């Protein structure tokens, strides 16, 4: 799929270095696409306590035996059931 403005994606939060808070998947809306690059976008991330805006967010996803894994500070397409 090609990212376009207005599409819903998942943003993966960083969590904390000490592990007090794990990475979390959050709903996000693409607000800008970086030229011809189909992997870097700007997002409006929707958190339970508010929104934040993040520019130049890289695409990252890997699938392992436990399911989908994505690194903190990245986005990916929502999983399909």
pLDDT of residue 35: 66
pTM: 0.83
pLDDT of residue 65: 59
Does the pLDDT value for residue 81 go beyond 80? no
**Nearest to residue 76, comparing CAs of 49, 68, 50?**
68
**Tell me: the pLDDT tens digits for 4-62?**
999 999 999 988 888 888 888 899 999 999 767 778 999 999 999 999 999 999 998 76
**Nearest to residue 28, comparing CAs of 46, 52, 51, 15?**
46
H helices present in 1-81, as ranges: none
Helix (H, G, I), strand (E, B) or coil at 69: strand
């Amino acid at each position: 799929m090609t990212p376009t403005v207005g599409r819903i994606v998942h943003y993966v939060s960083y969590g904390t270095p000490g592990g007090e808070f794990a990475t979390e998947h959050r709903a996000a809306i693409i607000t800008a696409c970086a030229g011809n690059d189909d992997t870097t976008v700007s997002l409006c991330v929707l958190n339970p306590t508010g929104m934040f805006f993040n520019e130049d967010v890289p695409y990252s996803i890997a699938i392992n035996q436990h399911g989908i894994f994505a690194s903190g500070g990245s986005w990916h397409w929502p999983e399909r059931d």
